[in-house]
Structure 1
Amino acid sequence: MEHNDISVGLDIGTTKIVAMIGRRNEYGKIEILGIGKAKSLGVHRGVVNNITQTIQSIQMAVDEAIAVSGIKITDAVVGIAGQHIRSLQHSDYITRANSEQVIDDDDLDMLEKQVHKLVMLPGEEIIHVLPQEFKVDGQGEITEPVGMYGGRLEANFHVVVGQVSSIRNIGRCIKSAGLNLAEITLEPLASAEAVLSAEEKEAGVALIDIGGGTTDLAIFKNGIIRHTAVIPFGGNVITEDIKEGCSIIEKQAELLKTRFGSAWPGENKDNEIVSIPGLRGRDPKEITLKNLSKIINARVVEIIEQVFLEIKNYGYEESKKKLIAGIVITGGGAQLKHLKQLVEYITGMDSRIGYPNENLAGDSDESLSSPQYATAVGLLMNGLKQLDKENAKLAEQPKLEEEVIEQNEPEIEKVEEEEKEEEPKPPKKTLFEKWGEKFKEFLDNAE
């Protein structure tokens, strides 16, 4: 059974893999039909380092989502992150053959394809080419050139680049798990789709997505993506520090962080103590929450300072690049207590925690509005956008057929008149029938 209104978002993270199946309801909100989660084995800092384990984790998440929704899925929109991701600014132009015709989507595609021909470093591949501003015959600051007249079309682009091997490894894992890779999207862009409002993107905002293995940054200004970066630290490094600092196992360190952890040491009193069971008959360990917070604070400060350095590199202090909406923090790491206050203290910018619930239908499970699902919701939204475009093209197809028939009508009539004049001959194919066959052949090939 074909579902042309249903999409799948697959978030391959360092800590967990999430498969999310959903569609838009009549109010334009996202209705989650099924969700599957699996512990992410074989992914380190956003990069696949064990193919077999990653395939198994993806299959577990997808099977769970299928079991919950009862819908068989074939395609998925997948997120990509990792320390191999980098971005650059690039300007390019095309000279149009006929300046008397208005600029259309084909011209924009041609310009974008030209950017894809950029020579990259060995082993690198372009993931996204995101137009920022256009110029038509030297007239600048144009955001939508379609429908305008002009001979020279140029644009500034934000180009996101990643390692070919990492992208191929993800593609192989998806295929081996029995899915088709519908689209690959940079994870901070997907998270931004889920948690940022159009007003924030217009005013200027920095999105910080703190995952298990990486911390992703996406900066928007005037509604356009301006800067992206992936920092190779995340929540797992904090857990590792707690494990080493308190001499406990990883599972206990993760529980300590999520239940009692705080990014602000001043919040805990010296006499607040948590007792942790010892291993195999050993005495339990007692850890003060103040010490725990100090360990967490040291690492979180390092992560935020790295992100803030990227925001400074973007040039947020310039009046034209000011980030009026401040910072939005999302991802699993955003659930750490007092993180918002620490971010404001270090950066001096307003901040809030980003939840994806604004885009979800009202009857959605409350747990889905957690910041840790922001990327999965964003990927699902991207997939639904692609479907909308495809469905719009399919809707235009009958109109195109009618136009072609109308254009061929005089020739068809002429052929019919000639046939009347001639003596009866064995049935001969009309021009219309020939054209119909050719058109059918074209459609079959297109499929």
Structure 2
Amino acid sequence: MKEQIFALDIGTRSVTGIILNQDKEGFEVIDFCMIEHDHRSMCDGQIHDVVAVANTINQVKEKLEQSYGTLTKVCVAAAGRSLITMNGTATLSLQNQPIKDSEIIQHLELSAVQDALEKVSQQEQVANTYPYYCVGYSVLHYYIDEQQIGSLIDQRGEVASTKIIATFLPKVVVESLLAALSRAELEMEALTLEPIAAMDVLIPESMRRLNVALVDIGAGTSDIAITNHGTVAAYGMVAVAGDEITEAISDTYLLDFPDAETFKRAIVQHKEAKAQDILGFETTISYKQLTKDITSAINFLAANITEEILKLNSKPPKAVMLIGGGSLTPKITKMIAKQLELPENRVAVRDISAIKQLTLNENLPIQPDFVTPIGIAIAAKRNPVHYISIYLNELTLRLFEMRTLTVGDCFIQAGIDVHKWYGRPGAASIITVNGKKITLPGELGEPPQIMLNGTVTTVDKPVKNGDFIQIERGKDGQSATITLYELIGEVKSMTVWFENHQHTISPTFFVNQQPAKKDDVIQDNDMIDWFQPKRLQDVIKQLSSIEYDRIKPFSIFVNGKEVQLSIGETQFFINQQKVDPSQLLYDGDHIQIIQGKQPNVQDLLAQEGKNYWRSITIFFNGKKIQLNQPAYIVKRNDERLKGDSLLNRGDKLQISTQSNGFIYQDVFQHVDLDLSSASGKFQVYKNKQPAQFHESIQPGDELEIIWSE
């Protein structure tokens, strides 16, 4: 049995009604009726005068009812040019805790859709977000700490965020459409979107993986839909269409606008037409001449369409399909192909003969401007859009079921930002670890509990008419709780050998300057210090009584210049190899220490290749004697040092050469003169000659003292 379908294409300039029959084999076009509006009751596809549009609809309906009886239900389409596309973003504080649940990501996406909806409301200057339906959204990118990433699952960072693109339809578009139908005593049987309608009959789903642009060039606007990756990826509109060409004809040939429109249709159909200008002169114009005369207008139309296609698609599509009355504009396909840098055979006008499973009545036209009304009838029957009622926390929602609706769609329509229903994060703790302040985040708040008809559900769960949804705020997170072990992690001990004994080197932990254990729970404002000795100099502090200063190089300053005394430096060996104290140790290493001695003045001079003592050999009373005296004067803070005076690290010494030579009296520092038996006077001699005690002496001199009665 055949089913009769009545569909209306309510356009800017006219209303087209069409009757189709549907059976198992497909659809058959039976009849149509097109009546133009009496005046500008519509603008850019939006009904501005409901009463006037209703009158035109009623005329079309009555005309068709004369042949097909009473018509009470109709399939219609909302203008795709009314769709609004907007980007939205949302962020989620992670506090370095990973996202484990994909539902949290879905909540983040819905918050981004809510953000896009708020932007649309601000852009359109409306008081709230309720006047819009969300037709759909796609995720553009995910981010962790502003770095783009493929997936948020198990990612760590401070902040997760997402960017989406969402499409919205103003409610007023549907409401005004319903009002006009009601005045014409028609009930909306099914609803679709104009771009979807045309797309559904010309580009089936199997072809939508291809990047194709469908352009419906009407009277006032050119509507554009882009397919890619199996879906309708974008919608767009430019306010330049067939009227632009009509106005160019009117200006070129001095024709009234209605006459120019009639002339345009005639010359496209017959390739030649007569026109009488406003002065009464009649002219016959050929199709070729018309094309030449209005080339600039055609190019302007093509440029606007091309620019919008590139804006929506970011690159030329693989092909472009043109429908609508304006698609018959001369040379429009070639100009669009040229501007998109496509081969000419990749841009084509498609009429209703391209619609599969459609039987045509031979008395009906097949022009491209009938693709949309037929598409409305077929698409509305195949994929009808209905209103459904949903109850959300005792709030009644009316949703436009353009696709499978979910719990998340209901939240968007109700203006609920799911993230604001999360529990509050637990209180954080601020601690200090080895002098550095660290914030320990509290637990994240739990997600809200969502119930669908009394059963726990998720935001991506489909809903149907009459469903009940409840959302309850999630539980607050707990304050930060962490043990010392959880904070620091596993720190392994190390075993070394020292003085033929095995020693275990373990880390040390202090909390608020008190020894602590790994299982101690960290509290807010705790000061934590821990250290794991890894270098030789640190291990020596634990194992040896050697003062740390003895480990460092033995440095002093001589006449303002730094000098390192190797004899005072302690030497270190690991596995019999001499190393620096900063050498890293490894498990099982053997340590050996050879301690340096505290150097004296003679050690200092010896390192410099100098001898502290200066010597000469003389003879005294016939005996050979060696006389010694310091060759250098060494002072430390004005204190004169001796050869065996011990030095300390950091000493500042002044060293100068001893300029005085040996004198006679120096001999008495090296001999023991027995005066117990001496009596009378004495005389001193040098080399058999009388001498004085202060007289200088030289090596080999013979000195003597002779006593006389």
Question: Same fold per TM (> 0.5)?
Answer: yes
Number of residues of Structure 1 aligned to a counterpart in Structure 2: 354
Residue 308 and residue 175 in structure 1: after superposition, are their counterparts in 2 closer, same or farther (change >3 A)? Answer: same
Aligned to 1:323: 317
Residue 343 and residue 114 in structure 1: after superposition, are their counterparts in 2 closer, same or farther (change >3 A)? Answer: closer
Which residues of 2 match residues 266-277 of structure 1 at below 5 A?
275-277=274-276
Deviation of the 1:6 alpha carbon: 4.8
Aligned to 1:346: 339
Work out whether 1:379 is the aligned partner of 2:379. Answer: no
Deviation of the 1:47 alpha carbon: 2.7
Equivalent residue of 1:178, what SS? coil
Equivalent residue of 2:294, what SS? helix
Equivalent residue of 2:330, what SS? coil
Aligned to 1:67: 66
Write out per-residue CA displacement over residues 422-447 of structure 1, whole angstroms, 9 at most, x where no aligned residue: xxxxxxxxxxxxxxxxxxxxxxx99x
The amino acid of 1:53's aligned partner reads: A
Which residues of 2 match residues 39-438 of structure 1 at below 5 A?
39-41=36-38, 42-70=41-69, 72-82=71-81, 85-89=83-87, 118-119=117-118, 120-121=121-122, 122-123=125-126, 125-127=131-133, 129-130=135-136, 132=138, 158-162=166-170, 164-260=171-267, 275-277=274-276, 282-285=280-283, 292-317=290-315, 323-324=317-318, 326-349=319-342, 350-359=346-355, 361=357, 363-366=359-362, 367-386=364-383
Q: Distance in 2 between matches of 1:92 and 1:352?
A: 42
Residue 175 and residue 341 in structure 1: after superposition, are their counterparts in 2 closer, same or farther (change >3 A)? Answer: same
Residue 127 and residue 229 in structure 1: after superposition, are their counterparts in 2 closer, same or farther (change >3 A)? Answer: farther
Q: Distance in 2 between matches of 1:43 and 1:57?
A: 11
Q: Higher strand share goes to which structure?
A: 2
Deviation of the 1:181 alpha carbon: 3.4
Equivalent residue of 1:212, what SS? coil
Contact 1:78–1:181 (CA<8 Å) still a contact in 2? no
Equivalent residue of 2:135, what SS? strand
Equivalent residue of 2:192, what SS? strand
Contact 1:37–1:60 (CA<8 Å) still a contact in 2? no
Q: Distance in 1 between matches of 2:360 and 2:272?
A: 38
- TM-score normalized by structure 2? 0.43
Q: Distance in 1 between matches of 2:287 and 2:308?
A: 32
Q: Distance in 2 between matches of 1:386 and 1:297?
A: 41
Q: Higher helix share goes to which structure?
A: 1
Contact 2:113–2:166 (CA<8 Å) still a contact in 1? no
Contact 1:355–1:369 (CA<8 Å) still a contact in 2? yes
Identity of aligned residues (%): 16
Q: Distance in 1 between matches of 2:74 and 2:335?
A: 40
Aligned to 1:12: 10
Q: Distance in 2 between matches of 1:230 and 1:252?
A: 27
Contact 2:216–2:322 (CA<8 Å) still a contact in 1? yes
Residue 388 and residue 316 in structure 1: after superposition, are their counterparts in 2 closer, same or farther (change >3 A)? Answer: closer
Q: Distance in 1 between matches of 2:163 and 2:64?
A: 41
Deviation of the 1:251 alpha carbon: 3.3
Deviation of the 1:217 alpha carbon: 0.5
Deviation of the 1:242 alpha carbon: 1.1
Q: Distance in 1 between matches of 2:72 and 2:196?
A: 24
Q: Distance in 1 between matches of 2:138 and 2:66?
A: 42
Equivalent residue of 2:219, what SS? coil
Q: Distance in 2 between matches of 1:17 and 1:340?
A: 26
The amino acid of 1:44's aligned partner reads: C
Which residues of 2 match residues 27-42 of structure 1 at below 5 A?
27=25, 29-41=26-38, 42=41
Deviation of the 1:351 alpha carbon: 1.2
Residues 193-202 or 213-222, more deviating: 193-202
Aligned to 1:442: none
Residue 23 and residue 360 in structure 1: after superposition, are their counterparts in 2 closer, same or farther (change >3 A)? Answer: farther
Residue 292 and residue 58 in structure 1: after superposition, are their counterparts in 2 closer, same or farther (change >3 A)? Answer: same
Deviation of the 1:157 alpha carbon: 5.7
Deviation of the 1:308 alpha carbon: 1.7
Contact 2:90–2:111 (CA<8 Å) still a contact in 1? no
Q: C-alpha root-mean-square deviation of aligned residues, in Å?
A: 4.5
The amino acid of 1:32's aligned partner reads: V
The higher radius of gyration belongs to 2
Contact 1:261–1:296 (CA<8 Å) still a contact in 2? no
Question: Gaps spanning 5+ residues in structure 2: where?
Answer: 92-102, 142-148, 152-161, 388-465, 468-709
Write out per-residue CA displacement over residues 65-111 of structure 1, whole angstroms, 9 at most, x where no aligned residue: 333333533243233255x5432355899xxxxxxxxx9xxxx9xx9
Write out per-residue CA displacement over residues 209-242 of structure 1, whole angstroms, 9 at most, x where no aligned residue: 1011110000110111111111112112211221
The amino acid of 1:80's aligned partner reads: A
Q: Distance in 2 between matches of 1:360 and 1:288?
A: 35
Write out per-residue CA displacement over residues 333-360 of structure 1, whole angstroms, 9 at most, x where no aligned residue: 1123332222212212221222233435
- TM-score normalized by structure 1? 0.65
Deviation of the 1:160 alpha carbon: 3.2
Residue 68 and residue 61 in structure 1: after superposition, are their counterparts in 2 closer, same or farther (change >3 A)? Answer: same
Question: Gaps spanning 5+ residues in structure 1: where?
Answer: 94-102, 142-153, 263-271, 391-444
Deviation of the 1:172 alpha carbon: 1.8
Residue 305 and residue 44 in structure 1: after superposition, are their counterparts in 2 closer, same or farther (change >3 A)? Answer: same
